[in-house]
Amino acid sequence: MSYRRSLMRRFPTNLQNLAIIGLGFPVIGLNVWVLSQFFRYFEHLITVLTIAALIAFLLNYPVKILERIHFRRLPAIVVVLLITLALLTILGVTVVPNALEQTTELVKQVPEWIRASNENINAWEEWGKGKGLLLDFNVLRSQINAKIDTQLQIIGAEVVGLAVGTLSGAIDTLSIIVLSIYMLLYGDKLWLGIVSILPDRIKLPLSDSLRLNFQNFFISQLLLGTFMASVLTPTFFFLRVPFGLSFAIFIGASELIPFIGASLGIGLVTVLIMLKNFGLGISVLIAAVVVQQIKDNLLAPKLMGEFIGLNPIAILICLLAGGQIAGLLGIIVSVPIAGTIKGTIDKMRQLSLNSFSQTEYAGESVDIEQD
């Protein structure tokens, strides 16, 4: 009898939980769809603002360091901007022209590499026949030939798009630079104005979590990407990898995609090189994986720590959702956004527990004094 009563008492609670879950998923799905439509409508504006905000986040870190050594904010911003401009000029004179030249030549040679891969497939078929294996790669060969035509069309479209979009790209770059400077100068006031409408218990946790997850995360990712590109460039040169500089920079830039970017970049580079030389592709894969393991096991724990604090499954879901909503930009910022939300909630809970503990301690002290 008592078991039946307890079961009846639990039934409304279980039904309420099921109702919340049942209604929650459609609401979340609807919100994701609304966000994706909103982003598509304002895609260009959101992209420019997001890139400018990320640059301001990154540059604000050295500005804060200079402020700690008794620089005023305006001179600190000027010094950081001048140093950044000098570094970009050095890269623009040394690395960028070579990388662009290699990338242009690579794009032209990819169809030839794909054609050459047919010979490798024939060699595998002959090897299989010698071992008594019936290997048929006709389907794969037809797919490769289809890829050739597609690649040639893409190259033509890219050339036309580059000629048409040069002026627009220059305007966007100038807009991003100006917005980044203004965000450095007045971003704090703007942020305080935005969070002023939030309750007091959310303001500080949200600000701290946003700084931790965006500023620290992207600084760490840039440093890790720079390490990958810097180490792989001489490694690929030693292995005599064609277009090694472009491949190394591509793998380093892939590090901006959280947690899986470097692996995807290494995989794509390996496949491309295997089209030309299978053995060289294996060597590139081994070298890149070794460098990646050094980065993941020695550098990443020291730079990144545990400030994201997300479950790996949650990270993959965030990446998929971000890509669905906002494409590549959504993939890049999805994990920091999720980390910001989680960090804000955790800090709010911690503040609530501390406040409750202090209240309880104060109540116990009053009771002791009364006794």
> Which of 31-40, 224-233, 297-306 holds the top average pLDDT?
224-233
**More confident of the two residues 100 and 28:** 100
Q: Range with the lowest mean pLDDT among 31-35, 134-138, 181-185, 324-328?
A: 134-138
**Which residue is associated with the tokens 């960090």?**
343
- CB-based burial of residue 242 (10 Å sphere; 0-12 exposed, 13-18 middle, 19+ buried)? middle
Would you state the pLDDT for residue 160? Answer: 45
pLDDT band at residue 11 under the 50/70/90 scheme: very low
Q: What is the pLDDT of residue 159?
A: 46
170-217 tens-digit pLDDT:
677 788 888 888 888 887 777 777 777 777 777 777 877 777 777 777
The better pLDDT of the pair 188, 15 is held by: 188
Quickly list DSSP for 15-76: HHHHHHHHHHHHHHHHHHHHHHHHHHHTHHHHHHHHHHHHHHHHHHHHHHHHHHTT--HHHH
Q: Which helix (H) or strand (E) holds 362?
A: helix 312-370
pLDDT of the residue at 127: 63
Using one digit for the tens of pLDDT, what is the confidence trace for 302-342?
A: 666 554 566 777 777 888 888 777 777 788 888 888 888 88
Q: pLDDT at position 288, please?
A: 92
Q: What is the pLDDT of residue 309?
A: 61
pLDDT, residue 3, reads 46
pLDDT of residue 286: 93
Q: How many CB atoms lie within 10 A of CB 30?
A: 10
CA-based angle 148:255:104, to the nearest 5? 35
Q: Helix 217-238 vs helix 261-276: angle between axes, to the nearest 10 degrees?
A: 20
Q: How far is CA 246 from CA 101, 198, 265, 267, in A?
A: 9, 46, 12, 15
Of 207, 203, 217, 317, which is closest to residue 258 (Cα–Cα)? 217
pLDDT of 168 reads 61
- State pTM to two decimals: 0.71
In order, the DSSP letters of 125-168 are HHHHHHTT-----HHHHHHHHHHHHHHHHHHHHHHHHHHHHHHH
Residue 145: the pLDDT is: 57
Rounded (5°) CA angle 25-40-319: 50
Between 323 and 363, the higher pLDDT residue: 323
* 354 pLDDT more than 60: yes
Decide if pLDDT at 120 tops 60: yes
pLDDT of amino acid 101: 82
What percent of the chain lies above the pLDDT cut of 70? 69
**Quick one: pLDDT band at residue 143, thresholds 50, 70, 90?**
low
Amino acid identity, residue 125? E
The share of the chain scoring above pLDDT 90, in percent, equals 6
The tokens describing 67, both together, are 């402020």
- At residue 162, the pLDDT reads 46
pLDDT at 221 over 70: yes
Burial 108-123 (b: 16+ CB within 10 A, else e): ebbbebbeebbeeeee
Q: Over the stretch 274-306, which tens digit does the pLDDT of each residue have? A: 877 878 889 999 999 999 888 888 877 766 655
Task: Note the pLDDT of residue 197.
Answer: 77
**What is the average pLDDT score of the chain?**
75
**Residue matched to tokens 């030549």:** 105
DSSP assignment of 64-110 equals: HHHHHTT--HHHHHHHHHHHHHHHHHHHHHHHHHHHHHHHHHHHHHH
How far is Cα 34 from Cα 333, in angstroms, rounded to an integer? 18
**Pair 181, 324: CB distance under 8 Å:** no
Q: What is the pLDDT of residues 145-178, one digit of tens each?
A: 555 555 555 554 544 444 444 446 667 778 888 8
Nearby residues of 172 by Cβ (< 8 Å), 6 or more positions away: 48
